Amino acid sequence: MSGFLLISLILLPLLGSLVAWPERWRQRLAPAYSLVPILQLLVVISFWTTVQAGEGIQCSWPWAPSLGLYLSFSLDGLSWLFTGLISGVGVFVFVYAAFYMADDPTLSRLYRFLLLFNAAMMGVVLADNLVLLLVFWELTSVSSFLLIGFRSHRAAACEGASKAFGLTAIGGLVMLFGILAVYAEHGTFELSVLLADSTSISTAAGLCFLVAAFTKSAQFPFHIWLPSAMEAPTPVSAYLHAATMVKAGLYLIARLTPLFADDPTWSATVTSVGTVTLVWGGVLACKQVDLKALLANSTVSQLGLIVLLLGLQTEIALFAAVLHILNHAAFKGALFLTAGTVEHEAGTRDIRQLGGLRPLMPTLTVAATLASLSMAGLPPLGGFLSKELFYESVLEADLLLTTLAVAASCLTFLYSFIFFHGTFFAPAFHSPQQQHASSHAEQHSTLGLIAPIVVLSGLAVLFGLVPSLAEALVTPAFTVMHGAPPLLHLALWHGLTPALWLSVLTVILGGSAFLLRQRFLGAIREHQAAYSFNRVYSDSLTGFTRLFQWTRALYMTGSVTDYVRYLLVALIVGLSLPLWYFFGVTPPRVDMGGIALPEYYELGLAGLMAGAAVMCCRAHSRIVLVLTLGLVGALMSIFFVLFSAPDLALTQILVEAVSLVLFLMVLRYFSIMVVVPQPHISYARGLNIGISVGIGLLVSGLLFAAIVGPSLPSPIPSYYLSNSHLLAGGYNVVNVILVDFRGFDTMGEITVFSVAVLGVLAMVELGVRGQRPLGTMFMVSFPSPILQSFARLTLHLMLVFAIYLLLRGHNAPGGGFIAGVLTAVAMTFQMMAFHVESFSQEMPWKPLHLVVVGLLLAAGTGLGSLLVGYPFLTSAIGHYSFPLLGEIELVTAMGFDIGIYLVVVGTSFGIIRTIAED
């Protein structure tokens, strides 16, 4: 039961953030979101007795147990304090926002983002599983991002949001590293397990968590995001960037403190980072003229103070730390809301233009002054208590730290006074604008914009006047960190302790600084640091972007020639090493047995092929280029004839013929006879030749390695040869492989082929038309009777021959592909003899239809076997006797082959006709 109550703290806001009111009532119903933190506060209060008794609540559900992920939550004194802060400050902020943005149509969205944040924050402090914690941790970053950039039309808001997200994301990722390291060491993500075993976690992992905490809590040098985050609407600043989110880092350090109690590196890191932040933040705060910027930097400083205390790890320091977390939430929340109200009423946050608001807003003046004094650490306010403990802690440490602490406290004193004095008490800055603003303030000062401030300031006072109250609230948290209840007791008066003297010194120094501020404040404000961390951040951003752009421009030239060069050079480099290893380090025993010696005519053929290839490179005109390529193809075909591949020889020569026709038709659009100039840049030419030679050697080397290297025997050829007729009913083994054994390859192959025609059709028919052909290469522009009758004759002869090749393909060289290309050649000839248009009229069907029918036939033959319960493409054999032809073995693969035939006819002819018609 209590487990469900516990996660209701997370679920309530999460569900709330999903609620979207209907458009009509959105504005009026928006404040209803405030119910969520109120309910949360009640739940938190209900846990009081449990926590007071030093007990906790745990609950856990499996999430992804195989990854070590559990939805495990636990509540103890430490998390209770934070849940209290989140819900408590939440109540004030939510109520305040309803008045602050009463007329703003985005109020509802603001509430939903705030609720998302609230859920994430609750998750951070309640999660027991480290990964779950990280999930919520990053969710706070995301919601903070959305809230900082809430006024997204402002460039500064967007920049601030990104800066905050980016810097905290560094922390999140480093924390992930730490979490993974912890898991690698201990095999668990459960904090309770780690804490219970009081296992020693490696310092490196610990430092990872610290980086995360420092980024989140805006510690030096990550502090720069917090002032930039002030672009957020003021309620957001008060809630996220003062009271809660920035304390997530503190929570993490506090939570892990028991694990690193004896780790000097941890302690030294935390203390020194905290100290630097404390002082530096104080200096920056004094410089500011914008109320929110002042408060933001003061928050940085105060967070540094708490981090410092957490690093000291003594009893007093830890107690002071938790106490200050509480105090800071109260007074800083109040002050941020004050800044919001002032801006809302006076129209500016610039301290130089403000002043004299005391008579106009007396209640606010009192409340804000009290909160400021608490921040300054004056008695009898809450801030005084924590400041006293702070002094006691540093006095226990060393002199340097004490000196810095006093200096920082003086700065705190100074900026606190600047804040309330400049706003309320300084002589009014009489500009016409200001006059207007002031009168405006008088009329509209509403209760809602002041009441939350009054209550928060009241708390700041109360914690001082009734120290036992504050003590009771923070004791459970302290006990969790320290492992034992505190021995000390809070009181306003401790006697004349050294700490008190330091406080007196602070007031004297701080007070004199305040009185003398006119002497130096202007100069400090004017002073522009030559190099700030913000500059480092933005300069490195632009610097890196430039660097990346520059390097990218170096190699991403957009020229395909360059890309091919990269590719091939990578191949040469990548393969030369293993090839060298192959031949040089483990030279294989060369076995020449079974490799035929070349005949003289074969040598001649090889020489011709090489020569033709080189001629291609040296061809100066396009027509020579194309014809030489055709020569290579023809020589290939002869090669296939010589080396037992009749099917390939036929295919190659036909393909070559069709390609040639296609090339020549395309050449009509090029100035074919013009000499193509060689590249005049000689180094590029040298490079090209180098790469070419390299690739040639590489490929030869690869194949050489394959031939001379060890190899395994293969049962595959003998299987095909012995079963081709037996099981597949064909004597032409190559054709049987194509339509049966590996028919699936052919299915893919004809698909490729079909797509070629679709692609060509689309490519030619769409887009701009471009120029007309430069010449009619061989399209006969007038009818030639002789050619036509010749063409008619050959057409029928060739068609009959094609059908013959198709039918006998299973048993002798031929088959669908060869027959198809032959048919296409016949039809192309026909088209050349007659006019393209008249030819089109004579053939009403479109090549596309042939392709579709062929593809469907091939696929259908294959799928047909599924219907009779066999796998795809299973072939069946039957014997039939036909008149004239005698007995013929009919194989269903024949249907497949006819499909191939149709596709090939359609595609080959389709492409040519498309170009011809263009």
Partner 1 sequence: MMAPDLFILFIMGPVVTAAFLAAFHKRDLLQRGVSLTVSLGLWGLSVVGLLSILQNGIVVLRMGNWAAPYGIILVADVLSMTMVVLTMTVAVAVVAFSLRTVEHAHQEHFYYPLFFILIMGVNGAFLTGDLFNLFVFFEVLLIASFALMALGSQPGQLRETVKYVVINLIASTFFLISLAVLYRTMGTLNMADLAYKIQMTSGELDPTLTILALVFLFVFGTKAAIFPLYFWLPGPYFQPAAGLSAFFGGILTKVGVYAIFRTFTLIFRHDPSVTHELLLILAALTMLLGVFGALSQMDMKRILSYHIISQIGYLILGIGLFTPQSLAGALFYMVPYVLAKSALFLIAGVVQAATGSTHLKAVGGLQSHSIPLSTLFLLAALSLAGIPPLAGFFSKFIVLQAGMEIGRYGYVGIGLLGGLLTLASMLKIWNGIFWGEETGDRRPVPLQPLLPGVVLLVFFIVGIGLFPGVLYSVAQVAAAQVSDPRVYIAAVLGPDVLW
Partner 2 sequence: MDFVIISVIGVLFGCGTYLILQRHLLRVVVGLSLYSHGANLALMVSGGLTRGNPPLLTTEAPYVDPLPQALVLTAIVISFGMTAFATVLAFRVRQVYGSDVVDELAGGEE
Question: Which of partner 2, partner 1, none has residue 507 at its interface (CB below 5 to 8 Å by kind)?
Answer: none
The verdict on 767 binding partner 1 (CB under 8 A) reads yes
For the segment 842-861, give every residue that binds partner 1 (CB under 8 A). 848-849, 851-852, 855-856, 859
Question: Which of partner 1, partner 2, none has residue 855 at its interface (CB below 5 to 8 Å by kind)?
Answer: partner 1
In whole angstroms, what separates CA 143 from the centre of its chain? Answer: 17
Question: Distance between CA 17 and CA 748 in Å, rounded?
Answer: 52
Closer to partner 2 by Cβ: residue 465 or 707? 707
Kindly state the number of chain residues that form the binding site for partner 1, as judged by CB under 8 A. 118
Question: Distance between CA 316 and CA 302 in Å, rounded?
Answer: 17
CB of 723 to partner 1, least distance (A): 8
By the 8 A CB rule, do 649 and 640 touch? yes
CB of 593 to partner 2, least distance (A): 11
Question: Distance between CA 136 and CA 133 in Å, rounded?
Answer: 5
Report the 10 Å Cβ neighbour count for 898: 20
Question: Distance between CA 551 and CA 342 in Å, rounded?
Answer: 50
For the segment 411-430, give every residue that binds partner 1 (CB under 8 A). none
CB of 873 to partner 2, least distance (A): 15
The verdict on 173 binding partner 1 (CB under 8 A) reads yes
Closer to partner 2 by Cβ: residue 183 or 663? 663
Give the closest residue to 336 by CA, choosing from 421, 240, 427, 424. Answer: 240
The verdict on 720 binding partner 1 (CB under 8 A) reads yes
CB of 417 to partner 2, least distance (A): 55
For the segment 108-147, give every residue that binds partner 1 (CB under 8 A). 131, 134-135, 138-139, 141-142
The verdict on 754 binding partner 1 (CB under 8 A) reads yes
For the segment 870-889, give every residue that binds partner 1 (CB under 8 A). 870-875
Residue 74 bridge partners (DSSP): 58
Question: Which of partner 1, partner 2, none has residue 142 at its interface (CB below 5 to 8 Å by kind)?
Answer: partner 1
56 Ramachandran zone, left/alpha/beta (phi>0; psi -120 to 50)? beta
Question: Which of partner 1, partner 2, none has residue 822 at its interface (CB below 5 to 8 Å by kind)?
Answer: none
CB of 543 to partner 2, least distance (A): 20
By the 8 A CB rule, do 626 and 664 touch? yes
∠ CA 152-155-161 to the nearest 5 degrees?
65
Closer to partner 1 by Cβ: residue 766 or 885? 766
By the 8 A CB rule, do 876 and 820 touch? no
Q: Which of 458, 511, 709, 775 binds partner 1 (CB under 8 A)?
A: 709
Closer to partner 2 by Cβ: residue 204 or 693? 693
Question: Which of partner 2, partner 1, none has residue 516 at its interface (CB below 5 to 8 Å by kind)?
Answer: none
CB of 72 to partner 1, least distance (A): 15
The verdict on 691 binding partner 1 (CB under 8 A) reads no
Longest dimension (CA), the chain: 129
CB of 883 to partner 1, least distance (A): 31
For the segment 724-743, give every residue that binds partner 1 (CB under 8 A). 740-743
For the segment 447-486, give every residue that binds partner 1 (CB under 8 A). none
Closer to partner 2 by Cβ: residue 152 or 692? 692
Question: Distance between CA 191 and CA 182 in Å, rounded?
Answer: 10
CB of 305 to partner 1, least distance (A): 29
| Per-position DSSP letters for 663-720, written without gaps between them | HHHHHTTS-TTSPPPPP--HHHHHHHHHHHHHHHHHHHHHHHHHHHS-----SHHHHH
Question: Distance between CA 399 and CA 244 in Å, rounded?
Answer: 32
User: Contact region for partner 1 (CB under 8 A) — 174-182, 236-244, 620-628, 786-794?
Assistant: 174-182
CA distances from 736 to 340, 720, 721, 870, 872 (A): 85, 9, 10, 18, 16
By the 8 A CB rule, do 400 and 272 touch? no
Cβ-based burial of 210 (10 A; exposed 0-12, middle 13-18, buried ≥19): buried
CB of 775 to partner 2, least distance (A): 14
The verdict on 617 binding partner 1 (CB under 8 A) reads no
Report the 10 Å Cβ neighbour count for 219: 31
Closer to partner 1 by Cβ: residue 606 or 707? 707
Contacts 24+ apart (CB under 8 A), 198-203: 198/258, 198/259, 199/259, 200/259, 201/259, 201/260, 203/260, 203/263, 203/265, 203/266
The backbone torsions φ and ψ at residue 86, rounded to the nearest 5 degrees and listed phi first, read -65, -45
Q: Which of 487, 496, 554, 712 binds partner 1 (CB under 8 A)?
A: 712
User: Contact region for partner 1 (CB under 8 A) — 371-379, 495-503, 576-584, 671-679?
Assistant: 576-584
User: Contact region for partner 1 (CB under 8 A) — 45-53, 404-412, 715-723, 821-829?
Assistant: 715-723
Closer to partner 2 by Cβ: residue 59 or 631? 631
Question: Which of partner 1, partner 2, none has residue 849 at its interface (CB below 5 to 8 Å by kind)?
Answer: partner 1
CB of 870 to partner 2, least distance (A): 22
For the segment 555-574, give every residue that binds partner 1 (CB under 8 A). 555-556, 558, 560, 562-564, 566-568, 570-571, 574
Question: Which of partner 1, partner 2, none has residue 609 at its interface (CB below 5 to 8 Å by kind)?
Answer: partner 2
CB of 823 to partner 2, least distance (A): 15
State the sign of the Cα–Cα–Cα–Cα dihedral 195, 198, 199, 203. Answer: positive
Calculated CA dihedral for residues 105, 110, 116, 119, nearest 10 degrees: -120
For the segment 529-548, give every residue that binds partner 1 (CB under 8 A). 544-545, 548
By the 8 A CB rule, do 188 and 194 touch? yes
Closer to partner 1 by Cβ: residue 603 or 762? 762
Q: Binding string to partner 1 for residues 313 to 342, with x set by CB under 8 A, is what?
A: ------------------------------
CB of 910 to partner 2, least distance (A): 10
Closer to partner 2 by Cβ: residue 100 or 817? 817
CA distances from 524 to 293, 409, 510, 811 (A): 15, 18, 16, 99
Q: Binding string to partner 1 for residues 31 to 50, with x set by CB under 8 A, is what?
A: --------------------
By the 8 A CB rule, do 263 and 316 touch? no
Contacts of 382 (CB under 8 A, 6+ apart): 326, 327, 330, 331, 374, 459, 460, 461, 462, 463, 464, 470
Closer to partner 1 by Cβ: residue 467 or 910? 910
Q: Which of 89, 346, 733, 747 binds partner 1 (CB under 8 A)?
A: 747
By the 8 A CB rule, do 492 and 380 touch? yes
Question: Distance between CA 14 and CA 123 in Å, rounded?
Answer: 10
For the segment 364-393, give every residue that binds partner 1 (CB under 8 A). none
For the segment 56-95, give every residue that binds partner 1 (CB under 8 A). 62-67, 69
Contacts of 559 (CB under 8 A, 6+ apart): none
Closer to partner 1 by Cβ: residue 495 or 713? 713
Question: Which of partner 1, partner 2, none has residue 852 at its interface (CB below 5 to 8 Å by kind)?
Answer: partner 1
By the 8 A CB rule, do 874 and 725 touch? no
For the segment 177-196, give every residue that binds partner 1 (CB under 8 A). 177, 180-181, 183-184
Residue 676 bridge partners (DSSP): none
CB of 20 to partner 1, least distance (A): 10
Which residue in the block uniquely carries the two structure tokens 């679709």?
758
CB of 698 to partner 1, least distance (A): 10
